[in-house]
Structure 1
């Protein structure tokens, strides 16, 4: 339930309240003097209104960079910044401090990580203990040199993994990313007060990437847990767009894992609400995921409306986001065209063939997996049009030509749709039987390793 536009009369300030609660009072008084609602302020500073409400109640400590933006919006002349500085130096615990880990617990976590990654069947696990020893040696050298972790290094690490998780074969990426997530927790314990918000942001980014990577290799159960971790980490930053990115990524992956469609719609809708109409990757992905879910639920009109919203956002998308076709942070035109091809295909729209061709011709030659997914849309349309054997053969040819490491959850999702489109009375045809057997094998290859 949202805060009322009309705030009640302010209560007297309790002089015995904690500095955090006094900061909350200051935030609320400044907002009320400006005649602004929580929703209006949230839109101006790119923060969900619910976080603002918690900060005003003194339940959580707001990040310093957000307080600086609020101070500017309210015209407080540095008052809120100074008040927060007093809160941070009051000697009382605050909620934006980095978590502390003792060395013994880190060693236990490290051993569990090695065992857990081994259980997944991730390649080169045998080398992990040796790599762990090298990592410990590096820590000794860093300590001798007086080096402390720099948040800039970890920001770059997260940026690199945003590219790595889209590689065709990411088993090794999952191993390295898991180890780096653990290493990051150690490094974050030395975060200074001025940089805590940046460390929290990287924590959310790395958690999101690990959730995505685990889902991509078929570790569905573990991926679900990490999506929750990522959402909590993003909430700690107070950045609505970062939390929206978590929900948007999860919605897309949930579709291809066969999770309940209402859950997909819920995650996507929440992401859209958090972005508040801003043209960003998170909003576009969320609209695409919701359109996909709606067409599977039989709501073609709602799905097409979401595609129109997505197209409108794309026209306002920052150029650097549109130009990024190789990382999870980008949203090039090919992704817009893919979403449209998918919805038109599964919705049986008369323009499906046209949308499929537009998407295929837009992909550069190196994006063979993505192009193959749209070719599977074409095969689906053939089957739905009554050309069962040619459609199934088309789909089989697509899978045959793809390297094994390109056959991931997203490909399997589209390939399975082709098989499901075959009417029950036609499933005894030899080409259909052979295709379903081939698909079953692909699913086993893509399934989680136990």
Structure 2
């Protein structure tokens, strides 16, 4: 039996359907939709056009959504199910995928067609419906946001990049080529996010570099600034703050040339605040946080939900993280408690809870540490997120002075087990 159709289920949810409501729309049993999603059966050809219409995709895109995720393997020694993750996918496909990234990046450096005859032929070729491709790429960000394991989205990203690379090999008009460069920058940033979540920071950095190069070719300063900010955040995350600072300075300069109605420059400022906190500069950190908070004065659609998602809703948790780093626990706890009252994704909530656990470490309060850290462990086990596992790994060394407490010993052992399993 094949694996589950994770992307199909995510698309169904993104369109607002339950299994039952989609079944009613298609005039089938809910159990049939469930079996489609479990990969037990494939929809009959007569249903596919109706499914595609309900999900707002083409038949080709539906075929991609119906691809099965690999079935989980079993460990011979224990017969326990070992879930697939990004590392396992990389073992099979990583070199080919990185070659595809590099090939696409090389094609982006080629000049556009200037010959009128070739351009007309390209326009008639129908190799790629650029607008349709853009819509599906945007949908991938929503699928990524909902996927419990982000690595499950990577095969869909690869499929999109395959199509995009084929288009770049064709003769294209300058306008179409510029649009393709924007789409490549978009996809490379999504691929980078997936790798980042999987603890593959070198591969994520490679994707962000390609995204920056594609954004430059597209003449898109906001897209370019976001690619550089993501690249810089890897250094922030690894606490190499002096390496992040120059990238963020360039990102800020680019954002100042972009769309003033977008939140790009405010997001750059938020990441700069974390960098200044890491460098121990409270005043510069506060100024950057205040600049980031100005996003609340913008009106209209300030982000696109994909490569730009900053809307100021994370400011409380970002302030809390900065103040924890700076050792200002009074300011940090107030900001983090405020953040918990908002609507947080599982990964964001794990970050807030880890920071609150760290405050408990500073106060030598084992009960506070256990209360918050155990919730983070549960999230890491449920989602398999490398980002959440990394937060626990960063917390673990700080537990050493408290290891006389049996509960802290148990927590330390849980984190060791979790991190070891994730590394394997």
**With structure 2 as the length reference, what TM-score do the two structures score?**
0.64
Determine if contact 1:360/1:371 at 8 Å carries over to the other structure.
Answer: yes
Residue matched to 1:280: 262
Moved more, 433-442 or 211-220: 433-442
Task: Indicate whether 1:269 and 2:249 are aligned.
Answer: yes
Task: Indicate whether 1:293 and 2:275 are aligned.
Answer: yes
Count of residues in Structure 1 that have an aligned counterpart in Structure 2: 307
Which of the numbers 362, 366, 373 marks the counterpart of 1:396? 373
Question: 2: distance between equivalents of 1:235 and 1:328?
Answer: 15
Task: Indicate whether 1:306 and 2:288 are aligned.
Answer: yes
Question: 2: distance between equivalents of 1:264 and 1:183?
Answer: 33
Determine if contact 2:379/2:388 at 8 Å carries over to the other structure.
Answer: no
Determine if contact 2:269/2:288 at 8 Å carries over to the other structure.
Answer: yes
Determine if contact 1:392/1:435 at 8 Å carries over to the other structure.
Answer: no
Determine if contact 1:393/1:431 at 8 Å carries over to the other structure.
Answer: yes
Residue matched to 1:178: 158
Per-residue Cα deviation, 1:128-160 (whole angstroms, up to 9, x for no partner): xxxxxxxxxxxxxxxxx9743111122112212
- Indicate how the Cα distance of structure 1 residues 376 and 270 shifts in structure 2: closer, same or farther if over 3 A, else same: same
Q: Structure 1 regions of 5+ residues with no counterpart?
A: 1-116, 127-144
Question: 1: distance between equivalents of 2:383 and 2:267?
Answer: 22
- Indicate how the Cα distance of structure 1 residues 444 and 251 shifts in structure 2: closer, same or farther if over 3 A, else same: farther
Determine if contact 2:262/2:301 at 8 Å carries over to the other structure.
Answer: no
Determine if contact 2:209/2:227 at 8 Å carries over to the other structure.
Answer: no
- Indicate how the Cα distance of structure 1 residues 271 and 425 shifts in structure 2: closer, same or farther if over 3 A, else same: same
Determine if contact 2:263/2:311 at 8 Å carries over to the other structure.
Answer: no
Residue matched to 1:235: 216
- Indicate how the Cα distance of structure 1 residues 280 and 439 shifts in structure 2: closer, same or farther if over 3 A, else same: farther
Question: 1: distance between equivalents of 2:275 and 2:412?
Answer: 24
Whose Rg is larger? 1
Residue matched to 1:359: 339
**With structure 1 as the length reference, what TM-score do the two structures score?**
0.61
Per-residue Cα deviation, 1:260-303 (whole angstroms, up to 9, x for no partner): 22222222222111111845343233222221122122222221
Determine if contact 1:295/1:343 at 8 Å carries over to the other structure.
Answer: yes
1:202 offset after TM fit, Å? 0.8
Per-residue Cα deviation, 1:298-356 (whole angstroms, up to 9, x for no partner): 222221221111112x123343236x7x6453223322222112112222222222111
Q: Structure 2 regions of 5+ residues with no counterpart?
A: 1-83, 94-123
Task: Indicate whether 1:436 and 2:407 are aligned.
Answer: no
Task: Name the SS of the counterpart of 2:302 in structure 1.
Answer: helix
Q: Which runs of 4+ in 1 moved over 6 A?
A: 123-126
User: Larger relative CO (CA 8 A, sep 6+): 1 or 2?
Assistant: 1
